[in-house]
């Protein structure tokens, strides 16, 4: 499939849905697409559910909500909320949770959203444009130390301090940075060396997007929520696209895939394992050739064990 600025190719589409529907309840179960995006996973899930099956989706993006409105299916519903609200569903009421942590191609390729350094646009980057401050708003007042910390921790950028210092100097000389191309040019002028084939601004844009949307904090909340809402035998499927996300998912599954003994109370019953790790999957060479944006994707799967009495 050829991507354009108006289309989105869902990563690991069939693989994710195959794993999700291996839940004990199968096609008659209740499932959550925690990150609806442009609905690729949701549509395939619905096509494979029975008449008794149910699918609920979450998304913060108004464009995603509008896209979901095109699905006319009584088995489907969507909430205009981030997936950190997952825990609000009734305990043990869900047979599978799917989280696709990538941003959609229309989001990246829409200049007015401000996610990409390739297009001139406002420096926004909010997933939900109805609330919160934009990157431009934050940069208008943030200190060198605050900016450095964000770029270093969320972008893993070794020139974080130099970039932060340049941003504040620019603000003091000519006013705040408000456009994507201004920020990209400033970073390019500051960072003199970069990995072959990577734009110098890549890590900085990633860092600001993750920070302004509290993406890692929301992921941690959503993973904890999945433990609460998954029924025994339910499946957790998470697709991540960079090392910070994948590390959180990997550590979460590992933490809950073993019994925990409290050595301070040697005769107490160990805390039972709550998940069974079911491995990981990467996109095939064929998928990466057809959709280069899938190359960094890692999908991890786990199954909810019996809830201890």
Domain range summary for the chain, segments of one domain joined by +: 13-105+215-304, 130-212
Give 7's pLDDT tier (boundaries 50, 70, 90).
low
Least Cα distance to 40 among 98, 94, 82 occurs for 98
Q: Assess contact for 25 and 49: CB atoms under 8 A.
A: no
What φ, ψ does residue 146 adopt, rounded to 5°? -65, -45
- Residues 212-263: tens digit of each pLDDT: 999 999 999 999 999 999 999 999 999 999 999 999 999 999 999 987 665 6
pLDDT, greater one: 2 or 199: 199
pLDDT at 189 over 90: yes
Average pLDDT over residues 177-197: 89
Task: Give the side-chain half-sphere CA count within 13 A for 129.
Answer: 14
Four-residue CA torsion sign, 125, 61, 13, 220? positive
Task: Answer yes or no: same fold for 13-105+215-304 and 130-212.
Answer: no
The CATH architecture to which 13-105+215-304 belongs is 3-Layer(aba) Sandwich (3.40)
Q: What is the CATH number of domain 130-212?
A: 1.10.150.170
């Amino acid at each position: 499939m050829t991507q354009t600025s108006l289309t989105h190719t869902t990563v690991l589409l069939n693989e994710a849905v195959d794993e999700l529907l291996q839940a004990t309840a199968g096609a008659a179960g209740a499932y959550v697409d925690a990150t609806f995006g442009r609905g690729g996973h949701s549509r395939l899930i619905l096509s494979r559910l029975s008449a008794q099956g149910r699918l609920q989706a979450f998304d913060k993006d108004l464009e995603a909500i509008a896209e979901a409105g095109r699905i006319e299916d009584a088995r489907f519903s969507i909430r205009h909320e981030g997936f950190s609200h997952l825990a609000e569903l009734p305990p043990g009421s869900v047979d599978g949770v799917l989280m696709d942590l990538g941003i959609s191609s229309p989001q990246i390729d829409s200049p007015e959203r401000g996610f990409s350094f390739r297009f001139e646009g406002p420096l926004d980057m909010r997933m939900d444009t109805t609330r919160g401050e934009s990157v431009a708003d934050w940069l208008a007042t943030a200190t060198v130390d605050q900016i450095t910390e964000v770029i270093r921790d969320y972008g893993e950028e070794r020139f974080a301090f130099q970039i932060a210092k340049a941003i504040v100097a620019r603000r003091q000389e000519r006013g705040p940075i408000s456009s994507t191309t201004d920020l990209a040019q400033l970073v390019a002028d500051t960072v003199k060396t970069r990995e072959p084939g990577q734009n110098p601004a890549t890590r900085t844009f990633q860092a600001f997007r993750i920070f302004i949307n509290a993406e890692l904090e929301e992921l941690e909340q959503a993973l904890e929520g999945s433990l609460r809402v998954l029924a025994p035998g339910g499946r957790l499927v998470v697709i991540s696209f960079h090392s910070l996300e994948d590390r959180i998912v990997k550590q979460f599954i590992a933490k809950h895939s073993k019994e925990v003994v409290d050595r301070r109370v040697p005769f107490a019953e160990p805390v039972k394992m709550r998940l069974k790790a079911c491995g990981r999957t990467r996109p095939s060479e064929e998928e990466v050739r057809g959709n280069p944006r899938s190359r960094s994707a890692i999908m991890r799967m786990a199954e909810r064990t019996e809830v201890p009495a």
